[in-house]
Chains A and B, each alone.
Chain A
Amino acid sequence: MKRQWKSGLILGLSLVLTIMLSACGASKGGTQADGSSAAGSKEVELLNVSYDPTRELYEAYNKAFAAHWEKEKGQKVTIKQSHGGSGKQSRSVQDGLDADVVTLALGYDIDALQEKGFVKGWQSKYEHNSAPYTSTIVLLVRKGNPKGIKDWDDLIRGDVQVITPNPKTSGGARWNYLAAWAYALKKNNNDEAKAQQFVQDLYKHVPVLDSGARGATTTFVERGIGDVLIAWENEALLSVKELGADKFDIVYPSISILAEPPVAVVDKVVDKKGTREVADAYLKYLYSEEGQTIAAENYYRPTLESVTAKFKDQFPNLELVTLKDVFGTWKETQQKHFSDKGIFDQIYVPGSS
C-alpha cells in the first residue's frame, strides 16, 4: 500500500517535471522567434515590465498608444504587460526577461539594470529625470480622522499605530521612509541625528511590517489594524474610490517627497529585437497630452502643465522635496539607509531603543 502510493507520487512528479521542462523550452523558443520576425514586418510586439500598482494605468495607456502608433506609422503594435514588485521585476530583466521597456517604482531598480549593461544613461533620456508622471506620499486615516492626525509629528504620538511596509522588501516603502526623513530633516534644521531619531520613533509605532505595499493596504483596510497608513497618493486615492469615501480620509502632510517612478528603454533588448523606434515612441508618448491625461485619471500626478491644471482639484498642492535635493542619487540613498547595517537596520538592532 505504502509502496504503491510512493511510486505513484514519483511517477506523478516526473511527469510534471517533464511537462514543465518541455514547456519552458517551448516558450523560450517562441519568444525568440517572435522577436526576430517582428523587426521588419507589419506587426510589432512590446513587453512593458512594470511594478504592481500601474496595472490599470498601462491597460488604458497601451490601447491609446496602439491607436496612436497605427495612425502615425500604419503599424500594428501589441503591448504585453508584466507586473510584480519593482525589485523583483528588475531582477527578472537582469535574468533574461526580454523587456523592451521598464517602468518601475525606483530609479535604483533601473540603476541595477545599468550596472549589468542593460541600459545606458537612462535618467537624462527623457524629461523630468525620465519620470513622466509622479506621485507623493500621503497619510490615509479612518473616516472622520478619530485620532486627529494632521502631520508627520502625530505619527509618533503614544496612542497612534502606523502601518507601512518594510523598506527592505518593498520599493514603494522606501519612498515612505524617505518622506518621513525629509520632514524630520526640515523640522530640525537638517540635523541628521534628530531625523534618525524621528524615523526610529516612527517605526516603533509600526505593529506589522508587511513585505509589500498591497499587503500593508490590506492590513490597514481589511484587518482594521493601525490608525494611519503611509501610502502613495495614487494608491490612497484608489482605496478611497474603491472602498468608499465613507470609510477613509486622506490627510496631506505639510511636507512630503516627490515620488518619481522612472521609465527606461532596455537598450540591450531593443537592439537585439530591433524595436528601438517603437519602444522609444512608447515612452515619449507618456509625456503627450493623452498619455498625461491617462496617468492623471489613474491618480498619478501629471508633469505636463496643461493637464495638471485640468486635474488640480484631484491633486492638492503641498510642499514636495525631490530625492536629488535631499538625498542625492539612489545609489547613495540605498547605501546609507537601506543596505545591510544601514540606518534602517540600525533601527532594529537591540539596544537602539
Chain B
Amino acid sequence: MSQVQATRKRVLPGFGLTMGFSVLYLSLVVLVPLSALLLNSTGLTWEKFWDVATDVRVLASYKVSFLCAAAAALIDLFLGLLIAWVLVRYEFPGKRIFDAVIDLPFALPTAVAGVALTALYAQNGWIGSLFEPLGWRLAYSQTGITLALMFIGIPFVVRTVQPVLEELDKDEEEVAATLGAGRWRIFCSVIVPELVPPLLTGFALAFARGIGEYGSVVFISGNMPMKTEIAPLLIMSKLEQNDYAGATAVALMLLVISFVLLLVINSIQRWSRRRAV
C-alpha cells in the first residue's frame, strides 16, 4: 500500500509543466522542421520521388556516406574507449587540458576542421606526403572522408564511455582478482559487459553525426561523383538548382535509413543492457 503511494507521489512537483515544456521544445526544434521536410517533398509524385531517391548517383552517395560513417564510428569506438580509459584510470601531467581538448571537435566549425584536415592529409601536407610514396592517397578519397568523420565523431564515444567507466565499482575487479582472474579475464568479463551499452550509444551518436556531416567532408573528399560524393553534397547540389522537392526527397531517404539503423542499434543496446543486469 505504502509502496504504491510512493510511486504515485513524485519527489518533485511540476510534471505537467515540465512535460509541457519538453513537448513544446521538442516540437519547435525537431518535429516541426521534420514535418516541413515531409511537406516539401510532397511536391513530388510517388514515382518521381522514387526516381530521385534511387538514381544511380544518389545510391552511390548513400553508399559512400553510410560506409564511411560506419567505418569512422567503428574506429572511434576503439580509439574512444582507449582515450576514456587513459583519462579515467591514470594520472599524468596535463590531464585536464587533454580532457578539455576532447570536446574541441564539438566547438570547431566543421568547415575549419575540413580545411585543416585537408591541408594535413593532401599530397603535399605533413601527413599526406608521408603516405604518398607508399601509393596511399589519403585526402580526396574515401579514406579522407573517414578521417574527417573520425575527427568529428570521437568526442561522442569518449564522453559517453567516460562517466560509466568512472562509476565502475573497483570492488568487483578486486573480488575477481582475489578469485584468481587474470587481468585480461577481468577486463573481458567484468569491465567490458558494463561498457557495452555506453559504447553502443557512442557508436550510434558518432555514426549518426557522420551520415549527415557536410562541412568537414566537402573539402577533403574531392566530391567525385560515384566515388567520393556524399549524400549531403547531392542535397546541396539540388538546392543549388532550386530543386527543393528533389533535395528533400534525398534527405528523406537518408533520414529513413538512418532512423532504421539507429533503431536497430538502440534495440541491441537495450538487449545488451538487460543481459548485463
Interface set of A (CB-CB < 8 Å, partner B): 1-2, 5, 14, 17, 85, 87-88, 90-91, 112, 166, 168-171, 207-211, 215, 218, 222-225, 334, 338-341, 345, 348-350
**CB-contact partner of A169 in B29, B140, B240, B242, under 8 A:** B240
User: Cβ of B52: which chain A residues have Cβ within 8 Å of it?
Assistant: 340
> A338 to B242, alpha carbons, bound, how many Å?
12
User: Cβ of B242: which chain A residues have Cβ within 8 Å of it?
Assistant: 87, 90-91, 112
> A88 to B222, alpha carbons, bound, how many Å?
21
A340-B55, A350-B226 known; 20 new pairs, CB 8 Å cut-off, are A5-B159, A17-B29, A87-B239, A87-B241, A88-B240, A112-B242, A168-B237, A207-B224, A208-B140, A208-B222, A209-B222, A209-B223, A210-B223, A215-B219, A223-B139, A224-B124, A334-B241, A339-B241, A340-B238, A340-B246
Q: Which of these binds chain A: B9-17, B74-82, B162-170, B185-193?
A: B162-170
- Residue in chain B with minimal CB distance to A341: B55
Tell me, yes or no, whether B248 is within 8 Å of chain A by CB.
Answer: no
Chain A nearest CB from B180 CB (Å) reads 31
Q: Do the beta carbons of B224 and A209 come within 8 Å of each other?
A: yes
> A350 to B56, alpha carbons, bound, how many Å?
9
Tell me, yes or no, whether B254 is within 8 Å of chain A by CB.
Answer: no
Q: Which of these binds chain A: B64-72, B94-102, B115-123, B203-211?
A: B115-123
Chain A nearest CB from B43 CB (Å) reads 14
**CB-contact partner of B57 in A1, A85, A171, A348, under 8 A:** A348
- B: interface residue count bin: 35 or more
User: Cβ of A168: which chain B residues have Cβ within 8 Å of it?
Assistant: 237, 240-241
**CB-contact partner of B236 in A2, A207, A211, A223, under 8 A:** A211
- Per DSSP, are chain A's interface residues mostly helix, strand or loop, or mixed? loop
Q: Do the beta carbons of B167 and A215 come within 8 Å of each other?
A: no
Residue of B29, B163, B222, B241 with most partner-chain A CB within 10 A: B241
Asked if A208 meets B224 with Cβ closer than 8 Å, knowing A168-B241, A169-B233, the reply is yes
Q: Do the beta carbons of A340 and B223 come within 8 Å of each other?
A: no
Chain A nearest CB from B238 CB (Å) reads 7
Chain A nearest CB from B31 CB (Å) reads 14
User: Cβ of A340: which chain B residues have Cβ within 8 Å of it?
Assistant: 52, 55, 238, 241, 243, 246
Asked if A169 meets B25 with Cβ closer than 8 Å, knowing A209-B223, A223-B119, A225-B123, the reply is no
Residue of A87, A170, A223 with most partner-chain B CB within 10 A: A223
> A12 to B197, alpha carbons, bound, how many Å?
25
User: Cβ of A341: which chain B residues have Cβ within 8 Å of it?
Assistant: 55
> A1 to B124, alpha carbons, bound, how many Å?
45
**CB-contact partner of A87 in B55, B226, B233, B240, under 8 A:** B240
User: Cβ of B29: which chain A residues have Cβ within 8 Å of it?
Assistant: 17
Tell me, yes or no, whether B149 is within 8 Å of chain A by CB.
Answer: no
> A338 to B115, alpha carbons, bound, how many Å?
27
User: Cβ of B124: which chain A residues have Cβ within 8 Å of it?
Assistant: 223-224
- Residue in chain B with minimal CB distance to A116: B242
> A61 to B119, alpha carbons, bound, how many Å?
35
14 A–B contacts, CB within 8 A, in A order: A2-B163, A5-B163, A17-B25, A168-B237, A169-B233, A171-B240, A207-B140, A210-B218, A215-B218, A223-B123, A225-B123, A334-B241, A339-B241, A340-B238
